[in-house]
Structure 1
Amino acid sequence: MAGHSQFKNIMHKKGKQDALRSKLFSKLAREITVAAKLGMPDPAMNPRLRAAVLDARAENMPKDNIERAIKKASGGDSENYDEVRYEGYAPGGVAVIVEALTDNRNRTAGEVRSCFTKAGGSLAETGAVSFMFDRVGLIVFDRKVADDDAMLEAAIEAGADDVVSGPEEHEVITSVEALAEAQKALEAKFGEPRKAALAWRPQNTVAVDDEAGEKILRLIGQLEDNDDVQHVTANVEVSDALVAKMEG
């Protein structure tokens, strides 16, 4: 799991540095609108919408933008987006899951396939790599809200399965079914989390050399740069030297 956390943190930092705010806000707004359209327009009554709003707040998306995206769901002029999952292999046999919201499946599939091919990887059939991941609930708190022991104890009491504490945050892992109740209990104790959503968790990570690692991180960056792509997850583990290089 350490490799997954390490990778996620690299991409989070890289994304913050590289992504244009307008593009980022557009993706966040799309998820908010879809979530509000599929369920209640009230985040308190709609877990997916609440998760989308948390993500938007974490990226400092203005409150007006969030409210506008929710209202758009009830209007007749909002676009219809399909949820699509792509699975493939990056260099070094690393498994990659790409989740997208698209109004044109053919366009998005072609663009995602092109990213994999150019990176020396390959797009595979749905289900080809997802068996190497577990679908879990993920609740992320800032590191400063509690020490490791206090977070672990509270998470166990809330019905969570595991806690991964890093230098910047605590990741609380739950089953899909336990996510909502665990989030509610932990929120009452520590306040609003940075993130609370369903996620893919690799069962094992694949260690790669720096040459392959850089290609994989570039591939992830290109995928995340696609307007339709919402989330990218990979079971890669890279060296500390490459982490320092990419952060630099």
Structure 2
Amino acid sequence: MAGHSKWANIQHRKGKQDKLRSKMFSKLAKEITVAAKMGDPDPDKNPRLRLAVKAARSQSMPKDVIDRAIKKSQGGDAADYTEIRYEGYGPNGIAVIVECMTDNLNRTASNVRSYFTKAGGNLGQTGSVSHGFDRVGEITYAADVADADTVMMAALEAGADDVESDEDGHFIYCAMESLSDVSDALEKALGESQESKLIWKPQARTEVDLETAQKLMKLIDLLEEDDDVQEVTHNFDVPEDVAAQL
């Protein structure tokens, strides 16, 4: 498996998540509403909803906002969202996967295509880049929750497949269908995680130069600022010397 991307942590340290906090809350609330509408409104009986609520709590979303999103799913005024995935190539052929929830497919497709074009990339067919990724569960813990050996043992006992630990934290990977069970088992052993979610994990990463990194930042920013976009995944990494110049 490819190593955990330093780029995600560079973005986090630069306060990107704080800048997009209100949009992040909106996206989390949408996932909660959709998960509750598709299954049971009780998180204990709905693994997808349980993970969505856990993700919201990890970002300090207020309990009343979480409860309101669940309640909204049971009302007749809840929007009907379609989940759709777009795949394409950013500058220099970097693979990008965009996961969306939308109530207007034409609007979303048009917007996503325009973002790729503006950044010097192009939208591809479904499956054009996802073959280079593995669909897995990722559970994240802070670096100081325990030492790497302790986390590794807990992860293996919980049914995880792999662990990557560094100064930025512990990143635990498992089969996608086991994410809820592994996350629950780890919570008993290590406490509540920072994040538990399904991801597209690249099988290999491509290091990029400064110019390419800047173009890719533009593309990712455009995508993440769109209300229909839930997650953006890519297979590039930024060397430390390039990151220092960004």
Above 0.5 in TM-score? yes
Instruction: State the Cα RMSD in Å.
Output: 1.4
| 1:60-104 residue CA offsets vs partner (Å, 9 max, x unmatched) | 211111100000000011000000100000011110000000000
**Deviation of the 1:235 alpha carbon:** 0.3
Q: Distance in 1 between matches of 2:101 and 2:166?
A: 30
Aligned AA (1:197): K
Q: Deviations over 1:188-244 (max 9, x none)?
A: 111111111211100001111111011112211110010010000000011213323
Residue identity matched to 1:15: K
Alignment of 1:15 onto 2:23: no
**What is the CA–CA distance in structure 1 between the aligned matches of 2:244 and 2:46, rounded to whole Å?**
39
Distance of 1:93 and 1:227 partners within structure 2: 25
Matched position secondary structure for 2:172: strand
Q: Which residue of 1 aligns with 2:93?
A: 93
Q: Distance in 1 between matches of 2:170 and 2:47?
A: 20
The answer to whether the 8 A contact 1:152-1:163 is kept is yes
Q: How does 1:31-46 map to 2 (within 5 A)?
A: 31-46=31-46
Q: Structure 2: how far apart are the matches of 1:218 and 1:18?
A: 15
After superposition, the Cα gap between the structure-2 partners of 1:16 and 1:155, relative to the gap in structure 1 and judged at 3 Å, is: same
**How far apart in 2 are the matches of 1:30 and 1:231?**
12
Count of paired positions: 244
**Structure 2 counterpart of 1:74, one-letter code:** Q
Corresponding residue for residue 171 of structure 1: 171
**Unaligned 5+ runs, structure 1:** none
**Which deviations, in whole Å up to 9, do the C-alpha atoms of 1:144-169 show, x marking residues without a partner?**
21111110111112221110113232
Question: What is the match of residue 61 of structure 1?
Answer: 61
Please tell me whether the aligned partners of residues 87 and 127 of structure 1 are also in contact (alpha carbons under 8 angstroms). Answer: yes
* CA distance in 2 between partners of 1:142 and 1:6 (Å): 15
TM-score normalized with structure 1 length: 0.94
Q: What is the one-letter code of the residue matched to 1:23?
A: K
**Alignment partner of 2:141: what SS?**
strand
Q: Note the residue ranges of structure 2 that are not aligned, 5 or more in a row.
A: none
- Aligned partners of 1:242 and 1:228: how far apart in 2? 31
Which stretches of structure 1, 4 residues or longer, exceed 3 Å deviation after superposition? 11-14
Displacement of 1:39 in angstroms is 0.9
Please list, as runs of the form range in 1=range in 2, the aligned pairs for 1:113-132 lying within 5 A after superposition: 113-132=113-132
Within a 5 Å distance, the mapping from 1:180-191 to structure 2 comes to 180-191=180-191
User: Against the structure 1 CA distance between its residues 146 and 227, is the aligned structure 2 distance closer, same or farther, given a 3 Å change threshold?
Assistant: same
- CA-to-aligned-CA distance 1:158-189 (integer Å, 9 cap, x gap): 22111011323211000123222221221111
- TM-superposed CA distance for 1:11, in Å, is 3.5
TM-score (normalizing by structure 2): 0.94
Take 2:229 and 2:12, find their aligned partners in 1: how far apart are those partners?
15
**Residue 206 (structure 1) aligns with:** 206
Is structure 2 residue 244 aligned with structure 1 residue 244?
yes
The share of aligned pairs that are identical, in percent, is 53
Which range is displaced more, 54-63 or 65-74? Answer: 54-63
- Map of 2:226 onto structure 1: 226
Q: Provide the C-alpha distance between the structure 2 equivalents of 1:225 and 1:62, rounded to a whole number of angstroms.
A: 22
